[in-house]
């Protein structure tokens, strides 16, 4: 048996990593034990106090506008100021928030929403049907479409009618059986009062604005008129933007902040060593590699499948996120009820990848992978991918560009690149990413069978039929799609021992989607 030095070193590296990860997991109990990371010693809920959060991911473009959230820190503010009709539980399932009832007709072409009574905005006005109509007209304003517009495009905003003071009929131009799922994605479809003034933003959320300076700091205070009795516990939350993890972690260790977000796995031991807590969540967000299926190299499905087969998913997860997170199977929407868990887990298979490449006449393939520091671990994942692909004779040159270049004029046009998405349900995600009409069809995926399955699924209110159709769509993506989804990254946050009420969540945003109304300080 011949064994080159390089292979030997690689095997050694992989082995030691596996041991390292196993040791870590053993130390925490068995398998994916998250509880060991979330032991809060903060006791029972207590009223009062000021929570100080130090968050990365913001910029001077920070905004309090619920129509256009962009930065990660925006969600921490928006999710405490405003509320949607439907929200998500920590288990990533839809739950009514402002909606008392949300129902569709049999063909899913018309929805009726009735909002809860007695809810007030921070400006003192009562929530009514008018506010719901106003909000959707703002989101879907063709002159300045909101961030949620692409996902809610089927709503006929002009045709909405007020049935009574609290009830709205929402007609849809095409069937839209997943409206309740689409509305539940945090921070995109929050209800704002008629005549919303961005300079004095008012929502129905548990906290209201006291001060805000973009890219620096915001102070929110408890809204005494909040409709959920007994909440929030805190008097005040101060959210400070941090430029990087080093100053953020220093600040947590020095006791200057109570909670921090988006940590990398290599600081876990440092944080725990200084007796602070780590909150580890199995996020549902996904950081795919995107291959354009319409032109060039990747228009050949055999080459796409070969690219998927060269990835050692467990190793990539180990290297990039210390083994935390969930393995991916090239299909998105992992926590959705429609997600097909029966698809066999794809493993690295260099021999099959080689034979696929040979059949496609693409031996010695050379491709350029455009990467950028757009989300945690993207650049490292690209480097790991390039390194593993060489085993199958594919030479991948990694082109690390700035974030602005990445999202500049070539965005959605790159041949082979990466992207990041927050968690979304399966069918709403399809409407954003994998239909010919989708706004973010970065793989240029256009499959008529797939499209017709989607059209059927979106038009039925029968959930089991819908799941069946969605499974067939996922089968097509699994066999032919343009995405490589090696893993669903974990979300790692830190918090002080004085903080209670933080729970891990599947939503993919830090600190249980920054829901601070149930958080207290001991």
Partner 1 sequence: MTTATEAPERVGPPSKAPRPHPIRDLVIKRSLIGILTLVLVSILVFVATQTLPGNAASAVLQNTATPARLHALEVQLGLNRPAVEQYWTWLTGVLHGNFGTSLANGQPVGTLVGGRILNSLVLVVLAGAIGTLIGVGLGVLAAARRDSVFDRILSVASLAVTALPEFVVAVVLVIFFAAVVVHWFPAVSVFVPGTAPWSNPKELVLPVATLVIVVVPYVFRMMRASMIDALESDYVQMARLKGVPKWRQLFVHALPNAIAPTIQVIGLTFLYLAGGVVVVEYMFNYPGLGQALVSAVSDRDIPQIQAIVLVLAAFYIAVNILTDVIALAVSPRRRLPRS
User: In b/e form, how buried is each residue of 280-314, taking b as 16+ CB within 10 angstroms?
Assistant: bbbbbbbbbbbbbbeeebbebebbbbbbbbbbbbb
Residue 401 binds partner 1 (CB under 8 A): yes
Identity of the residue, 150 or 380, whose beta carbon is nearer to partner 1 in the bound complex: 150
**Residue 436 touches partner 1, criterion: CB under 8 A:** no
Instruction: Calculate the CA 96 to chain-centre distance.
Output: 20
Do 158 and 138 touch, CB atoms closer than 8 A? no
d(CA 375, CA 383): 14
419 binds partner 1 (CB under 8 A): yes
255 binds partner 1 (CB under 8 A): yes
| Smaller CB separation from partner 1, 33 or 211 | 211
Among residues 21, 32, 38, 59, the one that binds partner 1 under rule CB under 8 A:
59
Q: Work out whether the CA dihedral 472, 478, 481, 484 comes out positive or negative.
A: positive
**Cβ of residue 244: shortest distance to partner 1, in angstroms?**
7
Residues 23, 517: Cα–Cα separation, whole Å: 36
Residue from the set 185, 237, 253, 381 that interacts with partner 1 by CB under 8 A: 253
17, 25, 150, 459: which one contacts partner 1 (CB under 8 A)? 150
Binding of partner 1 by 448 (CB under 8 A):
no
- Residue indicated by tokens 């085993």: 391
- CA 181 to CA 333: how far, in whole Å? 12
Backbone angles phi, psi at 7, to 5 degrees: -65, -40
405 binds partner 1 (CB under 8 A): yes
- For the bound state, the minimum distance from the C-beta of residue 492 to partner 1, rounded and expressed in Å, comes to 19
Q: Site for partner 1 (CB under 8 A): which residue of 16, 33, 246, 397?
A: 246
Pattern 354-393, partner 1, x by CB under 8 A: --------------------x-------------------
Residue closest to 480 by CA, chosen among 431, 427, 444, 455: 444
Interaction between residue 407 and partner 1 (CB under 8 A): yes
Task: Render the burial of 59-71: b for 16+ CB within 10 Å, e for the rest.
Answer: eeebbbbbbbbeb
The piece of 55-63, 227-235, 363-371, 514-522 that touches partner 1 (CB under 8 A) is: 55-63
d(CA 416, CA 140): 31
Q: Does the footprint of partner 1 cover residue 277 (CB under 8 A)? A: no
Binding mask 481-500 toward partner 1 (x if CB under 8 A, else -) reads --------------------
The nearest distance, CB 263 to partner 1, in angstroms, is 15
**Closest distance of CB 438 from partner 1, Å:** 10
- 227 or 440: CB nearest partner 1: 440
Cα separation of 321 and 315, whole Å? 10
By the rule CB under 8 A, 430 interacts with partner 1: no
Site for partner 1 in 193-222 (CB under 8 A): 211, 213-217
- Report yes or no: 171 and 109 within 8 Å, Cβ to Cβ: yes
Beta bridge partners of 115: 99
58 or 323: whose CB is closer to partner 1?
Answer: 58
Q: Which residues of 238-250 are buried (b: 16+ CB within 10 A; e: fewer)?
A: bbbbbeebeebbe
**Token representation of residue 140:** 């879907």
Q: Least distance in Å: CB of 60 to partner 1?
A: 5
**Residue 242 in the binding site for partner 1 (CB under 8 A):** yes
Q: Which residues bind partner 1 (CB under 8 A)?
A: 54, 59-63, 68, 70, 142-145, 147, 149-150, 211, 213-217, 240, 242-244, 246-248, 250-251, 253-256, 274, 374, 401-405, 407-409, 411, 419-421, 439-440
């Amino acid at each position: 048996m011949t064994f080159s030095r390089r292979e030997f070193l690689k095997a050694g590296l992989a082995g030691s990593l596996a041991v390292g990860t196993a040791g870590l997991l053993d130390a925490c109990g068995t398998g994916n034990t998250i509880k060991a990371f979330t032991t809060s010693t903060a006791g029972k809920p207590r009223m009062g106090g000021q929570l100080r959060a130090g968050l990365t991911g913001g910029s001077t473009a920070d905004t309090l506008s619920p129509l256009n959230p962009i930065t990660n820190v925006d969600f921490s503010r928006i999710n405490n100021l405003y509320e949607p009709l439907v929200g998500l539980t920590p288990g990533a399932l839809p739950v009514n928030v402002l909606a008392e009832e949300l129902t569709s007709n049999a063909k899913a072409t018309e929805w009726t929403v009735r909002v809860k009574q007695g809810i007030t905005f921070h400006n003192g006005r009562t929530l009514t049907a008018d506010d719901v109509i106003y909000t959707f007209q703002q989101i879907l304003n063709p002159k300045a479409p909101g961030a949620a517009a692409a996902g809610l495009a089927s709503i006929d905003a002009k045709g909405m009618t007020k049935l009574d003071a609290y009830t709205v009929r929402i007609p849809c131009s095409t069937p839209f059986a997943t409206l309740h799922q689409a509305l539940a994605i945090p921070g995109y479809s929050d209800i704002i009062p008629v005549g919303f003034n961005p300079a004095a933003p008012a929502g129905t959320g548990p906290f209201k604005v006291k001060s805000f300076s973009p890219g620096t700091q915001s102070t929110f205070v408890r809204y005494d008129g909040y409709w959920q009795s007994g909440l929030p516990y805190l008097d005040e939350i101060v959210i400070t933007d941090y430029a990087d993890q080093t100053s953020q972690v220093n600040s947590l260790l020095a006791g200057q902040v109570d909670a921090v977000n988006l940590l990398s796995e290599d600081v876990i031991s440092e944080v725990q060593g200084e007796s602070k807590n780590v909150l580890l969540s199995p996020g549902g967000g996904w950081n795919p590699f995107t291959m354009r299926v319409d032109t060039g190299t990747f228009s050949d499905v055999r080459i796409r499948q070969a690219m998927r087969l060269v990835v050692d998913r467990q190793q990539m997860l180990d290297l990039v996120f210390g083994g935390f997170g969930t393995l991916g199977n090239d299909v998105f929407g992992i926590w959705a009820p429609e997600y097909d868990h029966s698809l066999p887990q794809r493993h690295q298979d260099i021999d099959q990848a080689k034979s696929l490449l040979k059949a496609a006449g693409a031996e010695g393939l050379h491709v350029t992978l455009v990467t950028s520091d757009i989300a945690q671990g993207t650049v490292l994942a690209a480097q790991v991918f390039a390194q593993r692909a060489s085993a199958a004779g594919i030479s991948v040159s990694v082109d690390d560009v700035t974030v602005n270049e990445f999202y500049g004029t070539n965005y959605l046009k790159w041949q082979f690149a990466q992207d990041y998405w927050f968690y979304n349900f399966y069918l709403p995600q399809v409407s954003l990413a994998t239909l010919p009409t989708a706004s973010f069809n970065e793989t240029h995926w256009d499959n008529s069978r797939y499209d017709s399955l989607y059209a059927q699924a979106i038009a039925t209110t029968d959930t089991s039929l819908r799941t069946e159709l969605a499974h067939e769509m996922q089968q097509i993506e699994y066999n032919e799609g343009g995405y490589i989804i090696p893993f669903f990254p974990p979300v790692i946050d830190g918090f002080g021992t004085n903080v209670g009420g933080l729970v891990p969540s599947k939503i993919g945003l830090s600190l249980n989607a920054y829901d601070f109304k149930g958080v207290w300080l001991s």
